[in-house]
Amino acid sequence: MTRLVFILGVASATAWVAACHHHDEQDGHGHPHADGSAHAEEPPEPEPISITQWTERYELFVEIPPPVKDKPISYHAHVTRLSDFQAVTEGRFVVRYQDAAGKLAREHAQVGVKRPGIFVFEGEGLPVGEYGVAMQYEHEGLTDTWDCGKIEVLAADPPPAAETADTSITFLKESQWKIAFRTAWAEERPVRRQLELPGVVEPAGSDQLTIGAPTGGRFVHDAKRALTVGLKVEKGDVLGIIVPNVVDEDFSRLSFAVEDAAIAKKQNDNEIARVTPLVEKGLLPEKRLIELKNEAELLSSRLRLAQQRIGALTGDGKKGLQVKADMSGLIAEVVVTNGETVASGAPLVRLGGDKSLWVRARTFARGPFDAAEPATVRAQAQAPVDLGPLGAKFLSPSPTIDPSTRVGTWLVDLGPKTEAFPPELRVGASVVLVARFGAAEPRTVVPRGAVVEIDTRPYVFVQIDGEHFEKRPVTVGPEDLGFIPVLRGVEQRERVVTVGGFDIHLAAVMGTVESHRH
């Protein structure tokens, strides 16, 4: 039987052919030469028995020639670790044959791999008959067993394999182990409709506080602190100042007030300087000096206020009423830009804690959103975060529609923040929220990575056996929680490539050589 083996480019083909020679010499299993001339003088071989099985931890791919009475049985077994889809590097491989009565007829075993992932050995032949076969891999005290069904031991060599058309793609285990590669079962799962919404993470409403303007004036940000969303502040920190309004004030009158206050203060200071030595000598009562000092404080305050009022009018004012944080937390929103004029009581800054978070999402969709629930949220290029374990929930059954913009707002309560909370979900982060809604319907699904778009059409690569794959066009539905419904093209319990499908496609289009079965 002839299959096509596809090679990744000229350089890869050269290395692959060299590996084939090496494989032929050491293992006795045929691989192709680049010119297709390998073993041209040898007669065709019988179709080998190919077995591909899985446990929860390992994949087995083994090829053996059809067993013949009393002849040694050759094994070429590949064992792949499913946790990372890499070749095993040690362990013991065992093959057991049971007769019709269920008794152990023969056991063949090999300790250690010949090369990473590959057990190559021979075992003693068997009498003619049908045997139940089990294979197992033992490592670090654990055993994984594959039921390989029935194998018949023949009385004589079978006829050579007939040449038939074969459209599957051969992608050897050695190639799979060198790249990012994974497979999984196509399975049935309940699927619901899904909607993506852009959103922003913010403190929960119960954990927010709005800081308002104590009076009308210009709000000037604190020069030592850049007011930005997400900035952490402590209670009592200065956020900025309000320079009071001076609407309808006469500039000349304000200038006169400054000069008058300055002169009065200077005169009082001179009087204090004159009276102080007289009080010390007992010529004047101390009460006189105390009165002058009290007057000095009042005149200083009068001068300072006069300077602030004219400074606000000219834009040179540096002083004003301090605006402080009334709680510790994060800045959730800066409502007023630096230097903007606000009315008394106007919101300036919104503070929020980080003990409980919301996602404020926007949408133009109108629904209906029956039994809607937040499913996942992702920030930038991060992986989606499953919101189920966080106990996230919508605060309303459907978005609230703004009558003027027709934009819907949907709030998601992410629940109390814990140590296990994803760090990318922080106040101010832009995220994409995925909502699920509608009735759940059972569908055959594959993981998102299994669907490969080629020439704008979706395909799935189905694993026929350990080293052979079929490229199938598929019809798919909307993704749900990382799974894509396959409406046509793949059946349940078929094994599909979830990582590495495009590598198989590249191998198929970049070149071919003739091959015996591996």
203-261 tens-digit pLDDT: 888 888 899 988 888 888 888 878 888 788 888 899 988 877 655 455 567 677 888 88
- pLDDT tier at 288, thresholds 50, 70, 90: confident
Give the pLDDT of residue 366.
79
- pLDDT tier at 313, thresholds 50, 70, 90: low
The radius of gyration of the chain's CA atoms, rounded to the nearest angstrom, is 40
3-state class (DSSP) for residue 276? helix
pLDDT reading at 422 higher than 90: no
CA 345 to chain CA centroid, Å, is 43
340 vs 511, higher pLDDT: 340
- pLDDT tier at 356, thresholds 50, 70, 90: confident
**Could you name the CATH architecture of 46-159?**
Sandwich (2.60)
Q: What is the pLDDT of residues 127-185, one digit of tens each?
A: 999 999 999 999 999 999 999 999 999 999 998 877 776 788 999 999 999 999 999 99
Interacting residues of 337 by C-beta distance below 8 A, sequence separation 6+: none
pLDDT reading at 518 higher than 60: no
pLDDT reading at 303 higher than 90: no
Interacting residues of 229 by C-beta distance below 8 A, sequence separation 6+: 330, 331, 332, 333, 334, 427, 428
Q: What is the mean predicted confidence (pLDDT) over 24-53? A: 60
What fold does the segment set 193-202+353-438 form as a domain? Elongation Factor Tu (Ef-tu); domain 3 (2.40.30)
pLDDT reading at 298 higher than 60: yes
Single-letter residue type at 28: G
Interacting residues of 457 by C-beta distance below 8 A, sequence separation 6+: 473
Q: What is the mean predicted confidence (pLDDT) over 351-360? A: 85
Give the pLDDT of residue 249.
52
Give the span between the Cα atoms of 79 and 89, in whole angstroms: 9
CA 303 to chain CA centroid, Å, is 61
CA atoms in the 13 A half-sphere facing the CB of 179? 20
232 vs 97, higher pLDDT: 97
Q: Select from 97, 72, 107 the least CA-distant residue to 151.
A: 97
Q: What DSSP character marks residue 168?
A: P
Give the span between the Cα atoms of 216 and 225, in whole angstroms: 22
- pLDDT tier at 482, thresholds 50, 70, 90: confident
Q: What is the pLDDT of residues 462-481, one digit of tens each?
A: 999 999 999 999 999 988 88
pLDDT reading at 23 higher than 50: no
Q: What are the residue boundaries of the structural domains of the chain, listed by start?
A: 46-159, 193-202+353-438, 251-314
Give the span between the Cα atoms of 471 and 375, in whole angstroms: 32
Cis check for the bond before 447: say yes or no (omega within 30 of 0): no
Give the span between the Cα atoms of 480 and 482, in whole angstroms: 6
C-alpha to C-alpha distances, 392 to 27, 52, 212, nearest whole angstrom: 57, 42, 31
- pLDDT tier at 309, thresholds 50, 70, 90: low
Give the pLDDT of residue 5.
38
Give the pLDDT of residue 1.
39
pLDDT reading at 441 higher than 80: yes
- pLDDT tier at 14, thresholds 50, 70, 90: very low
Give the span between the Cα atoms of 134 and 148, in whole angstroms: 5
Give the pLDDT of residue 490.
97
Strand ranges inside 289-328, DSSP E: 321-324
Q: What is the mean pLDDT of the chain?
A: 84
Numbers of helices and strands, H then E, in the chain = 5, 35
Give the pLDDT of residue 311.
67
Phi and psi at residue 320, to the nearest 5°: 180, -165
Q: What is the mean predicted confidence (pLDDT) over 273-282? A: 87
Please, what is the Cα angle at 382 between 378 and 383, to 5 degrees? 75
pLDDT reading at 513 higher than 60: no
C-alpha to C-alpha distances, 468 to 5, 171, 248, 319, 496, nearest whole angstrom: 9, 6, 87, 78, 11
Residue 454 β-bridge partners: 457
Give the span between the Cα atoms of 505 and 457, in whole angstroms: 13
Instruction: Give the global pTM.
Output: 0.65
